[in-house]
Amino acid sequence: MIKPIGSDELKPLFVYDPDAHHQLMHEAESLPSVVISSQAAGNAVMLGGGYFTPLPGFMNLTDALGTCENMRMSNGQFFPLPILCLLKNVDAIRDAKRIALRDPNMEGNPALAVMEVENIEEINDEQMAFMTEKIFRTTDEAHPGVKAFNSQGRFAVSGPIQVLHFSYFQDDFPDTFRTAVEIRHEIAERGWKKVVAFQTRNPMHLAHEELCHMAMERTGADGLVIHMLLGKLKPGDIPAPVRDAAIRKMVELYFPPNSAMVTGYGFDMLYAGPREAVLHAYFRQNMGATHFIVGRDHAGVGDYYGAFDAQKIFDEEVPEGALEIEIFKADHTAWSKKLNKVVMMREAPDHTKDDFVLLSGTKVREMLANGIAPPKEFSRPEVAQILMDYYQSLKKQ
């Protein structure tokens, strides 16, 4: 199986030993503590699950700036963007050596992790602007990722962590949430050697489904891991439980047995386009995938990124040899009226726009909300029904 990044084996930071876990939970109650941001909580969950191997915890400012500058930490380790715990106020933990990081997304703010504090550093305006520009390619506060990143606070608390739970993800998505450790185990159990990973924050329509089939066929893959984001999105995006149900129905009906796994991970969407695409590839290698689909406007939002910037970054900016996972570069896929099947648009040069079945997200949402199923060339009827039920339920609220 493909090796994790920077290590011979995964380094999950979750405390699996029951006695050690119990002891830490007890200790956390007496430690100085702070409620962290939702983004920092997502980082802790990813660290706990081994996705961010070999990081031992939250980065200090030097490492954060290094990852922004050239995707390298001060020790030379590759990482595509900063993994920070940013706080607005550090009065409660200023002189502490060990602290409890509390979960902002669960009732009662339970202890999510225990941190050994190595540094508390204040980030100045120039450093914050530099990191923002490097991560998002913009400092525009109208960008949802920029706004979220800059609203967390200016104190970076760094040091190794021990993770105590996986926030709400394990409780709310018991059938879907999986750590990198668990996914690696399941890939091994299924006997898959070549594995394609597909990232999604949306339900999968016919074009997405066919793109996965294309990628598997062209790479000679044994299996597909559909790996959906379960954390916070922007307003208007379809909630994770609805996406989950729609994707599971599609896999059940339209994928052969033992060819696709439906899984999810606990992290808030950054909408960082190219940099987030590299992060996505990073943790897909750690979970055991050998190939990763990067499509048009991957992890983008609005018009902040070029259609294929998230593909170009792998050739232009990712350090040589940093990743072993192979990138499957995909174009927009759509139903061809001429060929009577889904194709990548760049592979149909004799087509005009009118030769494809193309619907905007707004148009699709409008149809679903009115109980109208999109055409079968756009969406599987069983998937459309789940989405229609969801939109109809919104009307009744």
Residues with active-site annotation: 201-202
- How is residue 346 annotated by DSSP? G
Q: Burial of 128 by CB count in 10 Å (0-12 exposed, 13-18 middle, 19+ buried)?
A: middle
Count other C-beta atoms under 10 Å from residue 220's C-beta.
10
CA distance 2 to 199: 19
- Tell me the C-alpha to C-alpha distance, in Å, between residue 391 and each of 133, 243, 376, 378, 394: 36, 12, 19, 18, 5
DSSP string covering 348-364, please? -TT--GGGEE---HHHH
- How is residue 19 annotated by DSSP? H
- Tell me the C-alpha to C-alpha distance, in Å, between residue 91 and each of 95, 99, 120, 155, 170: 9, 12, 11, 11, 32
- How is residue 262 annotated by DSSP? E
Cα dihedral sign for 386, 387, 388, 390?
Answer: positive
Helices (H) and strands (E) in the chain, counts: 13, 15
Single-letter amino acid, residue 26: H
CA distance 213 to 290: 16
Maximum distance among all Cα pairs of the chain, rounded to whole angstroms = 69
CA distance 193 to 291: 11
* Non-local CB neighbours of 26 within 8 Å, separated by 6+ positions: none
> Which one, of 25, 200, 197, lies nearest residue 102 by Cα?
25
CA distance 9 to 2: 10
Q: Report the Cα–Cα distance between both ends of the chain, in Å, rounded.
A: 48
